[in-house]
Amino acid sequence: MTATAPSLTALAAGWCALSVLHDRIEARVERALQGGHDLSVREFSLLEVLSRQHNGEGGHLQMHQVANAVVLSQSATTRLVSRLEDRGLLSRYLCPTDRRGIYTDVTPSGLALLEAARPTHGAALREALDEARQDETLRPLVEAVEALGTAGRPS
């Protein structure tokens, strides 16, 4: 198979379309979150992931799990956690059963900000998808994203 084979060209076009959709969504959501809540998309994602932790078995995430969930390197995630901790939105404490482990929790201020930002995030996401739906190339991807969003929900 050569680099110009139709299947590779189609695959590259699909990847390009996915990248365009991601960039459009992220830019729209970033503007909305920054403008309304002084939060970046990454900060919002981190608060969202950490807000789902619980005190039961396996309820707290290790830093590498958090990094995977927010799609950042472990060092970038640590820097992001530090920035949000400096803003009073997160706190860190030692794991009670393993003193080597450090947990990160969302503070009440962080939860309040997250709660306020969720509608902004949702509206910006909806607007970005509605706009992208107008592009024939992106329409199937928008439909796939929407289908993923409803998967597993009761009808």
Which CATH number fits the domain that encloses residue 32? Answer: 1.10.10.10
* Residue 152 lies inside a defined structural domain of this protein: no
Tally of domains within the chain: 1
3-state secondary structure of 53: coil
**Does pLDDT of 1 surpass 60?**
no
Alpha helices in the chain (DSSP H): 6-37, 41-51, 63-70, 74-86, 108-132, 139-150
* Residue 32 lies inside a defined structural domain of this protein: yes
* Residue 124 lies inside a defined structural domain of this protein: yes
Render pLDDT for 42-74 as a digit per residue (tens, 0 to 9).
999 999 999 998 777 777 888 888 899 999 999
| Percent of the chain residues topping a pLDDT of 90 | 66
* Residue 22 lies inside a defined structural domain of this protein: yes
The DSSP secondary structure of 130-153, one letter per residue, reads HHHTTSTTTHHHHHHHHHHHHTTS
